[in-house]
Amino acid sequence: MRSIVVTGGAGFIGSNFVHWVVDNQPDVHVTVLDALTYAGNRENLAGIPDDRLTFVHGDICDEGLVDELFASTDACVHFAAESHNDNSIADPSPFLRTNVQGTYVLLEAARRHDVRFHHVSTDEVYGDLALDDPARFTEDTPYHPSSPYSSTKAASDMLVRAWVRTYGVRATISNCSNNYGPYQHVEKFIPRQITNVLSGRRPKLYGDGLNVRDWIHTEDHSSAVWAILERGKIGETYLIGADGEKNNIEVLEAILEAFGLGPDEFDWVKDRPGHDRRYAIDSAKLRAELGWRPSHDDFAAGLAETVEWYRQNEDWWKPAKEATEAKYEAQGQ
C-alpha cells in the first residue's frame, strides 16, 4: 500500500493512527478526510510533513467527494464516527447519519473502486459483562448494544459484513477496547479528570465508580490496526485489547496520585443511563494469527505520560474545556 485514506483522521484515535503511520511506514502517503466536528482538530496533525499528508475537510456522507478520494487510493481505514455515549443519549440522530449512512457511502465507494477497507469499531457493540463474570469478549460474542452510540456501531459492523459477503468488498473489522493517550477530547473520562485538576476543578466519578473498562494505549491500537490492514484475512473480525481491565475508581485514583492528591479528592455525580458495567477483550486471535503484541503494558507509565501531555498542551485543550463542563453541569454530571 502506497496511499491510504483515513476517515476521522483529525480525531483522537484517527490522528494518533496517522502519526503512527507517518512514523513507521515511510513509503505511505496519508489522505485524511475529516468533517472537523467539535471532536476533530486540525492541530492534532501538526508536525506531519506536507509531502506525507493531504488533508481534506469534508463529510463521509458526501458521495461525490468520497468517490473522488477512493478513485486514487489503495486502502481506507475508517475511524470517523460520532462516539460519545452521553451525546448519543441526548440526540441519537447524528450517530445514525455518520455511523450508519456514512459507513454505507464508504462501502459503496470501496466496492466501485476495489479499495481495501478496514472498519474500526468498538467493544461496546457486545453490551457488557457482569463484574463477577470471568468471561471476556471474543469475536464470537453475540451483539447486545446498550446505547444509541453502540447500536449504530453495531449496525455499521453488519453493513461491512454484508458488503464483504454480497459484493466481495475487501474489508476487515476491528473492535477495540477503551483508548487513552494524547489528543483525546476533554469530554472523555481520563482527559476530563486530568484537565479538571489542571483547571482547578474537582474530578467527577459516575455512579458507584465500579464500572470496568479495558484500557489500551492508542499507539498499541494503531499498530494493531496496521497489522490487520496489512495481514488480516478478508471478511474477518479481530478484537484489539491489551489486558488493561481497571474500574473507574482505580483509574481516577491513579490520576489523583499523579498530581499528588488524596484518593478522596473528587465528587460523585449521578450515573449515566444504561451505563455498561464491564468490558473485557480477549485478543488471542489477533495475537496468534497476526503476531501482534502491545508495547504499552504498564498502564501507570502510560497514564503518567498522558497526564504530562495534557500538562504541556494546555493551549490545545483549554478552548473546549469551559463549554464541555457547562454541558456536564447542566446534566448534573
CA distance 9 to 55: 9
Residues contacting residue 29 through CB under 8 Å, at least 6 positions apart: 2, 3, 4, 51, 52, 53, 54
Residues contacting residue 35 through CB under 8 Å, at least 6 positions apart: 57, 58, 59, 60, 80
Strand partners, 278: 212
Active-site residue flag, 305: no
Task: Output the CA torsion sign for 109, 20, 289, 279.
Answer: negative
Write down the catalytic residue from 34, 59, 82, 124. Answer: 124
The x, y and z cell numbers of residue 100, run together, are 450508519
* Alpha helix stretches (DSSP H) within the chain: 12-24, 63-70, 85-90, 93-95, 103-113, 148-167, 189-198, 218-231, 248-258, 284-290, 299-312, 314-330
Residue 195: name the closest of 204, 205, 186, 184 by CA.
186
Active-site residue flag, 282: no
Write down the catalytic residue from 34, 59, 82, 123. Answer: 123
SS3 state at 25:
coil
Write down the catalytic residue from 126, 149, 180, 238. Answer: 149
Answer whether 191's CB lies under 8 Å from 184's CB.
yes
CA distance 10 to 54: 12
Which amino acid is present at 128? D
Active-site residue flag, 124: yes
Burial 140-159, CB ≥16 within 10 A → b, else e: ebeeebbbbbbbbbbbbbeb
Answer whether 288's CB lies under 8 Å from 238's CB.
no
Residue 80: name the closest of 91, 94, 67, 64 by CA.
94
Give the residue numbers annotated as catalytic, written as ranges. Answer: 123-124, 149
